[in-house]
Amino acid sequence: MIIVISVVSLGFVGYLVFPAMDITAQEQPEVFVTHSGAVVQTTGDVLDPVYTIQEVEFDPQKYLREFDYGKVSQLEDGTILREFTIIAEDDKIMEIAPGIFYNVWTFNGQVPGPTIRATEGDLVRIHFTNNGSKEHTMHFHGNHPAEMDGIFEIVGSGGGQFTYEFIAGPVGVHPYHCHVMPVEEHIGHGLYGVFIVDPKDARPQADEMVMVLNGFDTDFDGENNLYAANTIPFYYQHHPIQINTNELIRVYVVNMVGLDPINNFHLHGTLYEYYPTGTDIIPSQFTDMTTFSQSERGILEFEYEYTGRYMFHAHLTEFSDKGWSGVFYVKDSSQPNMEVYDYGS
């Protein structure tokens, strides 16, 4: 009996003292590439935030150029009516980075919510339903009556409803987000999206895209663990955004990072015309570096002369090291059928 006990306890101690020696380790060694280009081999698993193929529930590539113009109809006085249906939920668990599962709170099942787009003077009507377990609202930046502000008109959980109605304006790029206290928490979990108001004289034709700069504090210690343009860290580094040389690119950038007072945007290989808040049609800056405080936003317009890969990222390197970085892959516009470049494969 004593022998059995001592053998068992010694075995247990041995197991604890010496790191697991697993004889069932994989036979085929895996290989991964470091940030500095070195190739490393392992018999175990690879933890790779950038290069591993991951199936994301939310597709930043699709979100990038997806604009929701609503269900369009015309009122008797000729005003365009745009109707949207937005449903808030707060029970979704999403894989926001390879292997990291986080409880996101969503508008229409995604973070950021759909990009709502209208022309100045249109009547915007939003049928909002709160299917969450907490109270939520929609608060739009822009012009509207006080009762459409989404602050005091709290929408109850489990199917509460509210219809927001206002005339789209002013021209520009604006955020919308839930404004229930604590706002930090509701925004931190993902209840935000972009609202674009186009001028009546449309902006010049361009390859348009939306980038919401966001972050996630996945362990609730008051510091963001992950940063990104459009939710998934390093996504556009893994899947570069394909654009053409000598084509006007227009990026609507909205900074929704909480907890950190500022964020920024830096573009490689060219400079852009910058329109703060997008409210003016004359750019105020020609630069490659813009600083955004919380919910600050603007429009960037640029063209690339040369083909190749160009990074865009936070010049706050802590943010870029934690996921807020991406790549534009510039193709020659005279050769439209060029082979698709797959970075990192």
Partner 1 sequence: MIMEVKRSSKTKTAVSAIIPFVLLAVMIGYVFGPGSELISFGVVIPEISIEKVEFVDSEIIATVRNTGPIAVDIVMADIDDSILPAAIEPDKHLERFESAIVRIPFEWNEGQPYAIGLTIDDGTRFEKQVDVAAPSIQPTVEMITYFAIIGTYVGIIPVMIGLLWFPFISKLSRNKYKFFLALTVGLLLFLGISAAEEAIEISAENLSDVFNGVLLVATVSIVSFLALNYVGEKLKKRAGASKLAGPVAIALMIAIGIGLHNFGEGLAIGAAIVLGEAALGAFLIVGFALHNTTEGFAIAAPMARTKLMIGRLAAMGMIAGVPAIFGAWVGGFVYSPLSAVIFLAIGAGAIFQVIVTIIRWIQNEEGKLSNSSVLAGIAVGMIIMYVTSLLV
User: What is the rounded distance in angstroms from the CA atom of residue 86 to the CA atom of residue 199?
Assistant: 24
Tokens of 217: 């504090």
The reply to whether 3 sits near partner 1 by the rule CB under 8 A is no
The reply to whether 38 sits near partner 1 by the rule CB under 8 A is yes
- Interacting residues with partner 1 between 98 and 157 (CB under 8 A): 98-102
* Tokens 């604590």 found at: 182
Phi, psi of 135 (to 5 degrees): -80, 140
- Applying CB under 8 A, among 7, 8, 10, 25 the residue interacting with partner 1 is 25
The kind and range of the H/E element at 162 are strand 160-167
Phi, psi of 10 (to 5 degrees): -65, -40
The reply to whether 332 sits near partner 1 by the rule CB under 8 A is no
The reply to whether 70 sits near partner 1 by the rule CB under 8 A is no
Size of the site for partner 1 (CB under 8 A): 48
- The full length of the chain comes to 345
Residue whose CB is less far from partner 1, 99 or 156: 99
The reply to whether 185 sits near partner 1 by the rule CB under 8 A is no
- Applying CB under 8 A, among 233, 278, 298, 326 the residue interacting with partner 1 is 233
- Shortest approach of partner 1 to residue 99 CB, angstroms? 3
The reply to whether 159 sits near partner 1 by the rule CB under 8 A is no
User: What is the rounded distance in angstroms from the CA atom of residue 123 to the CA atom of residue 169?
Assistant: 10
Stretch of 13-21, 122-130, 273-281, 289-297 lying at the interface with partner 1 (CB under 8 A): 13-21
CB atoms under 10 Å from CB of 53, counted, come to 9
- Applying CB under 8 A, among 2, 3, 4, 16 the residue interacting with partner 1 is 16
- Shortest approach of partner 1 to residue 8 CB, angstroms? 14
- Applying CB under 8 A, among 2, 3, 4, 22 the residue interacting with partner 1 is 22
- Applying CB under 8 A, among 48, 90, 122, 208 the residue interacting with partner 1 is 48
User: What is the rounded distance in angstroms from the CA atom of residue 177 to the CA atom of residue 186?
Assistant: 8
CB atoms under 10 Å from CB of 103, counted, come to 13
Residue whose CB is less far from partner 1, 272 or 324: 324
| C-beta separation of 169 from 92 below 8 A | no
User: What is the rounded distance in angstroms from the CA atom of residue 273 to the CA atom of residue 213?
Assistant: 19
- Applying CB under 8 A, among 7, 10, 11, 15 the residue interacting with partner 1 is 15
The kind and range of the H/E element at 60 are helix 60-64
The upper half-sphere exposure of residue 326, i.e. CA atoms within 13 Å in the direction of its Cβ, equals 24
Binding site for partner 1 (CB under 8 A): 13, 15-20, 22, 24-26, 30, 32-36, 38, 40, 42-51, 96-102, 216, 218-219, 221, 225-226, 233-234, 318, 321-323
